[in-house]
Structure 1
C-alpha cells in the first residue's frame, strides 16, 4: 500500500490530467484490480483476481464464444472434436500451430517455444486432480472421466503410490484419458455430460508444459508459461503487472471484425489499486480504459442508468451484465460455536438456531442501500441466481423479512431459545473481511451492527486478501462473505459449493458442510439432463441448505462496466468477463 501511494504521488502524475480520446495510448490496454494476484499457477484459478491475468496467458481446448446467445463454446487449442452417439466418448484434434512460449531468462527451449501436444493436456489435467496439489478447482473434472478419480485417490495415499500413479498415467494413459497421437486425445466419460465442453472452456482446464512445473528454479506461480496471446513481462507485487503480445503468436479471427486478427493490443497493464476512490480518479483522468462503478462510487459515475453528463460528453459507455452469481455469508460448520459437532444432537440443534438468527438479523436493506447503491444487485430468494433453469421464482429460500424489525425480533427469539437471551453467555463471533480498504471496513461495520441489534457480540477482522483465503482454506475463518459465480450456465456450479467431497484439501466447500442426503442428491443431480426431475432435486437441496444454514444468500450482484470511448470490442460475458485479446484501442 505505501509503495502504491508513492508511485501515485511520484511517478504517475498523468493520472490527474484531463484526457481526450486522442490521448489514449496506442495499442496499450490499461486496467485496474483492487488487489494483486497471489499466484498465476492455474491450480489457483478459483481466485477471481488470479483468473483475470491467467486468462490472458493460458488456453484450454475450448473457450466461451463472446457473442453467441444462448451461450456456446468455440474451439481454441482444439482444432476440432467428435463425440460418440452415446455422448460418452470425445476425440479432440489439437491445432498444429499452437505452441508454448517461454519469455524468461534461460528459456526452456532453444527458440523459446515448442508445440502443444495431447500429452500436455493429459499432464495439466492430472496435475489439477493430484490430491497433493490441493487445488480447489478439482471439482471441474471429479466423477466425470473414467479412471481419473482413481488416479486422484492414489495420489493421496502416499508419495510412492502417487509417483507410481503418475508414471502409469503418463506412460499408458487412463481408461478415460488416452493419447492417440502427438495431437490427438481421446476422452471417455463415465456418463453423458451436457456441460462437458463448458467445463473444458472454464479457467480450470487450461494447458501448460510439464517443463514449466518440473524444471528446477521454475514456478508457474510467478513465471507462467502458456500458449495464449500474451506473456508476463513485469510484475511488481502490490503495484502492477504488465503483459505483452506473445512474439509470433498464431493469431485468431476477431469475432467483432472478421477481417482483423487477434490480439489487437501490444501491451496490457494491470495496476493494483485497493482504494475505489483512486480507481475512479484514474478513470476520470483517462488513465484506465474501463471501470466497474461499484459501491460508494456508483452514484458519482452513473445517474438514471447512464454515465453522468461529464462522462457521457466524452463518449463513455455503460454496459450491464445480468446476475450470474450470488453473494453469501458463509459459516464454518467445523466451528464449535456455530457449526456441527458430531454426536452432539442437543448442541447441534442450538447451533442451528444461532445460524438462523444470524441470517434473520443480517442487515439486507442497509447492505443494498450502502454497498449496492440500491441498483448493483437484485434481492435473493435462495442460492441460485435468476435465469438458470432450476431457479424457481415462486420459492423463497431467503431469510429476509418484510421489515427489519421482524427479522431482528425473530433472531432474538431464536437466541433465547438456543439458551443465550440477549446474547448472554455466547462468545463474540469473528467476521473475517477479505480486504483492508474502506469498502471492506464499511461492509464489516454494517454486518456487525446488524448482528449486534439482535444480541450478538461481533469482532470484525480485516485481512489482506491472501490472508483471508488462507484462513478459509485452513478452516480458521468462523464467518465470512463470499461471492460465487457460475463458470458456465448450469446450477451444479452453485450447488457443488456444498458437496461434501469438496470440503477437504481447501476445496470449494468453504463452509465444510457435510450432509449425506445432500451429497446423494447432488451426485444424482449433476448427471441428469435438465427437466422436472432435476428441478425437484435442486429444490430439495435448497431446502436442506435453508434448514441447516451453512450459509445464506444475500443478493445477486448485477455487473456494470464503464468503458472509455476509445476501447472497442467490449462485450460483457458472464462466464468469460475479462478477455483482453478482443479489446482494441480506437486510433485517432
Structure 2
C-alpha cells in the first residue's frame, strides 16, 4: 500500500513538472467526514470547507493576536449600542462556483444565502454538531426549530424576527441578548454561505458536492483517500495586503507576497495518510510540500532546542514552530448508561467519582509528552490553552499523578481486587473500562500507555477500535465510554473551550455528555462577560467543578512543527485559520 501511494505521488509530481501548474501537495492524518458545513465536526473536513465557502468575516493573515476583517461582507458589522443588532452589507459581484444545480445561470451570493445557511444549523434533520454556535442567540430561530421538531419539517420560508434581508445585499441579525463573541462566530468557516439550490439538488449527497463562492472548489474526491481542490475560476480574487509585525519571518513573507493577486495556487492535492512514517517519507523525498503531523519522528529532523538539523537547513527546508491553540483530554462519558448497558464510569455517585479520579491519577501525562509526543507538546493544566483569551498560565489542576493514592481511593470506595489482580465494582460486578481509539500506530502508543496506567491500579482495560469518522459519530451519540479527544480553537476566546462542558451542548461539542447545574449556571453568566477578572473567576470555578466531578483529564497542547519544502512561499501558521492555502505561492523548484 505504501509503495502504491509513493507511486501516485511520483506520478503527480511528474505531471506537475510537465504542465507548470502550481499544485500544493499535503496530507491529512485522518479521514474527512464530508463537506456540508452543518454536518461536520472534525478538523480535516473543516479545513477543506474553509477553502470552499465564504463566511461573512475572516482574519488578517499576519496580525497577532488574531484580528477580524471583512470577507464576503463589505466591512465589519454595524452593531447597535445595545449589542443586539448586527447589520452586514454583502459585497456585490460575488458568485458561487458554476454548478449544474444552477442550470447554466451565474448565481450571485446574497444576504438570503446567509439567512438560509444559518437556519440549517437549527434543522433537526441535520443534527448539527455545531448548532451550539447559534442556539439561544438569534431571535425567533429556537422557536422555529421547536416547531420543526414537533412537525418533522423545518420551514425555511417562515419569517424569523432575528434574520432579516431588507434587500439582496443587506443582512440584519437580531440577538436575544448581547454576545461578545458573535462576530467571531461569523468568521468561523462552517458559517460560510451555501446555495439553497445546490443543497436541494444534491440532498443527502451534499457532503460530497460542496458548492461555495470561496477561492477553491472540489475537483476530485475519493472518500477517505484523496481530495483534490482546484482554484475557483470565478473567484473574485483578493490582493495579498497584510502589514507584518516585528517578526523577521513575517517581514520576509510580506516582501515576497505583497501585492500579489490571490489565489496563486492552481490546485491543492490532499492525501489521507494515517501513519506518521508514511507521511514523513513522503515529505523527506519531496513528494509533499507541507507537513506538520510528525511529532512521532521529530528527533529525526529537529534538535533538542527546536531547531532544524543542519542537513535539512542545507536543503532549504523551512520550519514554522508554534503551540497550537488546542487542548487534548481524556474524557469520561458521564451518562449512567451507554445504550442498554450500565456505564461503570458514569454518574455522580461518590464511588463513580472515585473511579474516574483514580483513573485520572494513574495516567502520567508527562510520559505522553516525553514518549509519544517526543517532547513536542506542553502540559495542559487549564481548559483554555495558550494564545486564547482567558488562558491562565498560573493555574494548576487538582488532579495529580499519584498511583498510590489512586489505589487507596479505590480500596476506600469498595473496588476490591479479585484473584486475577483486577478490581471489581463495589457490588461485585466485573469492572471493565473501554477506551475508543483508531487503528493507527500513533493510537497504539496511547493504548499501551493507558493500559500500563490502569494496570498500575488494577483496573481492566479493553480497547474499542474504529476509524476516526465512525468514532466521531458514536461520540456525538454519547456511545463511547472514554476517549482521548482534541479541540482546537474555532475562535480565539475561552468561551469556545468552556462550552465543551456545557450541558445543552451534549450530542454536539460536549463529548463527555456532562450535565452539571452548577457548571451550566456559571457558564451562562460567563457568556455575558468580556475577558477580564470577573469572567476569569467564573472560569476558575467552572474548572474546579469539572475537576471535582472528574469529567476530563487534561493532557497537553501540541507544538506544531510545520515543515515546508524550499519552494513554498508565504507560509506562517495562523492561530485560528487552518487552510492557509489562499495566501501561499510556490516558487519554481531548482532545476525546473
The one of 218, 228, 234 equivalent to 1:232 is 218
The alpha-carbon distance between structure 1 residues 23 and 412, as it changes in their structure 2 partners (threshold 3 A), is: farther
Matched, 1:428 2:421: no
Write the distance in 1 (CA, Å) between the matches of 2:324 and 2:202: 44
Point out where structure 2 has 5 or more consecutive residues left out of the alignment: 242-253, 426-430
Could you say what secondary structure the match of 1:445 adopts? Answer: helix
Partner residue in 1 for 2:313 = 312
Write the distance in 2 (CA, Å) between the matches of 1:490 and 1:389: 5
Write the distance in 1 (CA, Å) between the matches of 2:204 and 2:383: 41
Partner residue in 2 for 1:56 = 51
CA RMSD of aligned residues (A): 2.2
Matched, 1:531 2:524: no
Structure 1 position 264, deviation (Å): 0.4
The one of 340, 344, 352 equivalent to 1:338 is 344
Could you say what secondary structure the match of 1:416 adopts? Answer: helix
Structure 1 position 9, deviation (Å): 5.9
Write the distance in 2 (CA, Å) between the matches of 1:266 and 1:390: 39
The one of 98, 101, 105 equivalent to 2:97 is 101
Q: Deviations over 1:345-390 (max 9, x none)?
A: 7xx110000000011001212211111112x211122222134443
Could you say what secondary structure the match of 1:39 adopts? Answer: coil
The alpha-carbon distance between structure 1 residues 393 and 35, as it changes in their structure 2 partners (threshold 3 A), is: closer
Give the TM-score normalised by the residue count of structure 1. Answer: 0.90
Matched, 1:38 2:33: yes
Write the distance in 2 (CA, Å) between the matches of 1:333 and 1:234: 41
Partner residue in 2 for 1:154 = 147
Structure 1 position 46, deviation (Å): 2.2
Q: Deviations over 1:6-37 (max 9, x none)?
A: 632654456999xxx99996411110111221
Point out where structure 1 has 5 or more consecutive residues left out of the alignment: 402-406
Structure 1 position 233, deviation (Å): 1.1
1:383 touches 1:552 (CA, 8 Å); kept in 2? no
Structure 1 position 293, deviation (Å): 5.0
Structure 1 position 231, deviation (Å): 0.9
Matched, 1:7 2:11: no
Could you say what secondary structure the match of 2:530 adopts? Answer: coil
The one of 171, 184, 199 equivalent to 1:198 is 184
2:164 touches 2:173 (CA, 8 Å); kept in 1? yes
Could you say what secondary structure the match of 1:350 adopts? Answer: helix
1:381 touches 1:398 (CA, 8 Å); kept in 2? no
1:321 touches 1:573 (CA, 8 Å); kept in 2? no
Could you say what secondary structure the match of 2:229 adopts? Answer: strand
Matched, 1:560 2:566: no
The alpha-carbon distance between structure 1 residues 99 and 311, as it changes in their structure 2 partners (threshold 3 A), is: same
2:362 touches 2:406 (CA, 8 Å); kept in 1? yes
Write the distance in 2 (CA, Å) between the matches of 1:286 and 1:208: 36
2:262 touches 2:582 (CA, 8 Å); kept in 1? yes
The alpha-carbon distance between structure 1 residues 516 and 410, as it changes in their structure 2 partners (threshold 3 A), is: same
2:66 touches 2:575 (CA, 8 Å); kept in 1? no
The alpha-carbon distance between structure 1 residues 274 and 389, as it changes in their structure 2 partners (threshold 3 A), is: closer
Write the distance in 2 (CA, Å) between the matches of 1:565 and 1:417: 60
Matched, 1:287 2:287: yes
Partner residue in 2 for 1:497 = 500
Could you say what secondary structure the match of 2:536 adopts? Answer: helix
The one of 405, 411, 418 equivalent to 2:406 is 411
Structure 1 position 458, deviation (Å): 0.4
2:327 touches 2:557 (CA, 8 Å); kept in 1? yes
Could you say what secondary structure the match of 1:129 adopts? Answer: coil
The alpha-carbon distance between structure 1 residues 216 and 371, as it changes in their structure 2 partners (threshold 3 A), is: closer
The one of 166, 179, 194 equivalent to 2:165 is 179
Structure 1 position 151, deviation (Å): 2.2
1:568 touches 1:585 (CA, 8 Å); kept in 2? yes
Write the distance in 2 (CA, Å) between the matches of 1:155 and 1:480: 33
Give the TM-score normalised by the residue count of structure 2. Answer: 0.90
Could you say what secondary structure the match of 2:115 adopts? Answer: helix
